[in-house]
Structure 1
Amino acid sequence: MNQLDALKQFTTVVADTGDFRQLAQFRPRDTTTNPSLILRAVQGPEYAPLLHDTVVRWKGRALDEIADRLLVRFGCDILALIEGRVSTEVDARLSFDTQATVTRAERIVELYQAEGVHIDRVLIKIAATWEGIQAAQTLERRGIHTNLTLLFAFAQAVVCGQARVQLISPFVGRICDWHRKQAGAGWDEAANAGANDPGVQSVTQIYNHYKRFGIATEVMGASFRNLGQIRALAGCDLLTIAPELLAQLAASDAPLQPALDAQAARGMDLPAVHYDEAGFRYALNEDAMATEKLAEGIRAFAADAARLEQLIRAV
């Protein structure tokens, strides 16, 4: 048994890609997309016709509507190849506007429903700002499930749990990137590998907290840089993994055992934690890594959403 098949025995494997032609090879249950992945895909020869067809079909509609229709087109094609859910992201430029996020999310879901897709097969991705989490709470109450992304801080995870969101995506690799950059020449790669990786430690803390206090929100580790990070989080509810790393897992026959244990977490002596808005904002402000990476992530996704609109205009 290869490591990919072994991992699937105790963790739901999710493909982190906009290239749905890669899905059959790895047979993930779910798939996540984001504006950067979609932008990359439509600039290639395989998916350029999909962009062209979507824009021509809906020419004359508002630019943001055409962009959402393009995302949904990708999502529908992906859902035809997997048995689970696809995550589709709300425009990152709305990350600090609760009502606009709710409105945009509802439109995306309506577009999926118009294509015959059941609401339970779609997760709406929203940046884990205070406003984004409040939007997610509203959407969950309306039966629309959410995936809170760009999650770097324990405080973000706590508030997502309070809001009873369906799923969170803590970013392992980007957390590690920040600490590596801060340490500079003093960074010891071997000493910060596996369970000692700062990103792995962050997800482990969140996972144990959720299991200890019976929080139903799913934890999906994301943004992996290497196999060591993935192996150290084996047993997590879900892991979303890029095709290159999926291929490496499939090529390895080394034994793989769960590193996280929900039953063990339920017996841990952990403090209960709760945040109101002021407490959340202060905790996030105190976490320089999370503050910087959240802002950086929103800017990057917003820029790619704008580039996608430029491509739409050019058709």
Structure 2
Amino acid sequence: MGSYPDTVNLLEYLRSRSSVDCDCLDTQVATTLGPFVDCTSNQADAYLELLTPKRTSLLKKSAALAREILSDFTGVSYEELAVEISMVNLSLAVAPLITGVIHVMSNPLLDATPAIVDNAKRIVSLCSRLEPGFDTSRLCIKIVSTWEGLQACHQLSSIGINTLATTLFTMEQAVLAAEAGCVYVSPFVHELKAFFDETYQDEGPILGHCLQIQQYYERYSYRTRVKAAGLLTADEAMRLAGVTSLTLAPALVHTLSKSEDSKKEVEALSLFKQGSESQGQASERLSLIDDEIKFRTAFAKSEGGKGQLKTMQAIDIFRQYQIKAESLMRDEDVARSE
């Protein structure tokens, strides 16, 4: 049945207002639900993808290469290196199917700035090693939005390595990320726990946070772009139509692709009104990059401490999947040596 003249496909409308990215490492998703701009990923995505039968060969090759080149790197275990190689391999497989950037997350178990910097540099090196012709300007390193992580972003930005600040729930993190030179920030609309625990009830999406951050960056001419993450529903996606970009799980993309609504009603939903500046004033400009105490104090107080708690909970979930992925590589190494 054809659409009425005043109706729009929700996914097509969203793509007309914002860049839509794939939050998945499944090449089939990128092929069937695209076109996508960027491809984002994390340790959970990588671990779950590596468990699928179609990735058995990639897992084995990643493990074997880690053993082969481990001596080329200092301060990294076989398991860590094998996970990094597999995550880069998975992302490189998606790269030809998108038009933009692949986002590879650094090891969330690392909590010191020098170690995070070394990790990011190694990921860039592995990318070039695994696919020498790949343009590493299409690679972005996702780093957790702690003080140490954002200071690492600052150092990496100074040497031309693209970074994205992830696990971001507060304005203070967004301010510091912009000062650090991050290319992107990913404000999480929902707590990450809501995606991994069906019994957990999130207190509510912080959609307005994405608008506030984008206005702040525009007002003060920061190059950092907002990449909204952690959306659960089509309604949330429509309310964020007009944000610079969104990274969406496959199930949500599929729902949007099969949904239509009145164009007038869809446009009315968006927090980002087209051609309007009546969104409210952006926050007063802050500077946190050189003041650790000021950042930590403001971050701890933000939203009554909820922002910091959500950040730590999200990092803990990613750490659990990093450990699972390392265990998977350890098991593969044991099986290989038997």
Give the TM-score normalised by the residue count of structure 1: 0.89
- Identify the range of structure 1 (301-310 vs 254-263) with the bigger mean alpha-carbon deviation: 254-263
Question: Is the contact made by 1:213 and 1:266 (CA closer than 8 Å) also made in structure 2?
Answer: no
Deviation (angstroms), 1:104: 0.8
Deviation (angstroms), 1:10: 1.7
Q: Which runs of 4+ in 1 moved over 6 A?
A: none
The alignment status of 1:80 with 2:93, answered yes or no, reads no
Deviations 1:113-149 (A, max 9, x none): 2212112111100000011111101111111100110
The correspondence for 1:102, drawn from 113, 117, 127, is 117
Residue 264 of structure 1 corresponds to 277
Residue 236 of structure 1 corresponds to 243
- The one-letter code of the counterpart of 1:127 is V
Question: Is the contact made by 2:191 and 2:314 (CA closer than 8 Å) also made in structure 1?
Answer: no
Distance 1:138 1:46, change over 3 A: same
Deviations 1:182-240 (A, max 9, x none): xx8xx9xxxx9xxxx54102222212211222221000110111112111111001100
> SS state of the match for residue 103, structure 2?
strand
**1:96-135 residue pairs with structure 2 within 5 A?**
96-114=111-129, 115=131, 116-135=133-152
Question: Could you tell me how far apart the structure 1 residues matched to 2:277 and 2:223 are?
Answer: 16
> SS state of the match for residue 83, structure 1?
coil
Residue 274 of structure 1 corresponds to 287
Question: Is the contact made by 1:14 and 1:28 (CA closer than 8 Å) also made in structure 2?
Answer: yes
Deviation (angstroms), 1:274: 2.5
**1:18-97 residue pairs with structure 2 within 5 A?**
18-26=25-33, 27-59=35-67, 61=70, 62-94=78-110, 96-97=111-112
Residue 4 of structure 2 corresponds to none
- Identify the range of structure 1 (168-177 vs 35-44) with the bigger mean alpha-carbon deviation: 168-177
The correspondence for 1:206, drawn from 207, 213, 231, is 213
Residue 253 of structure 1 corresponds to 260
Deviations 1:239-281 (A, max 9, x none): 0000000001111121333531587279836422222321110
Percent of paired sites with the same residue: 28
> SS state of the match for residue 313, structure 1?
helix
Deviations 1:63-91 (A, max 9, x none): 22221111110111010211211100110
Question: Could you tell me how far apart the structure 2 residues matched to 1:270 and 1:290 are?
Answer: 17
Count of matched residue positions in the alignment of Structure 1 and Structure 2:
301
**1:283-302 residue pairs with structure 2 within 5 A?**
283-287=298-302, 288-302=305-319
Q: Which runs of 5+ in 1 are unaligned?
A: 178-183
Residue 11 of structure 2 corresponds to 4
Question: Could you tell me how far apart the structure 1 residues matched to 2:238 and 2:307 are?
Answer: 23
Distance 1:162 1:18, change over 3 A: same
Residue 172 of structure 1 corresponds to 189
Question: Could you tell me how far apart the structure 1 residues matched to 2:37 and 2:229 are?
Answer: 15
Question: Could you tell me how far apart the structure 2 residues matched to 1:30 and 1:85 are?
Answer: 5
**1:188-199 residue pairs with structure 2 within 5 A?**
198-199=205-206
Q: RMSD of the alignment, in Å?
A: 2.4
Question: Is the contact made by 2:215 and 2:282 (CA closer than 8 Å) also made in structure 1?
Answer: no
- Larger CA Rg, structure 1 vs 2: 2
Question: Could you tell me how far apart the structure 1 residues matched to 2:193 and 2:319 are?
Answer: 23
> SS state of the match for residue 268, structure 1?
coil
Residue 180 of structure 1 corresponds to none
Distance 1:5 1:278, change over 3 A: same
Question: Is the contact made by 2:192 and 2:314 (CA closer than 8 Å) also made in structure 1?
Answer: no
Question: Could you tell me how far apart the structure 2 residues matched to 1:269 and 1:86 are?
Answer: 30
**1:134-149 residue pairs with structure 2 within 5 A?**
134-149=151-166
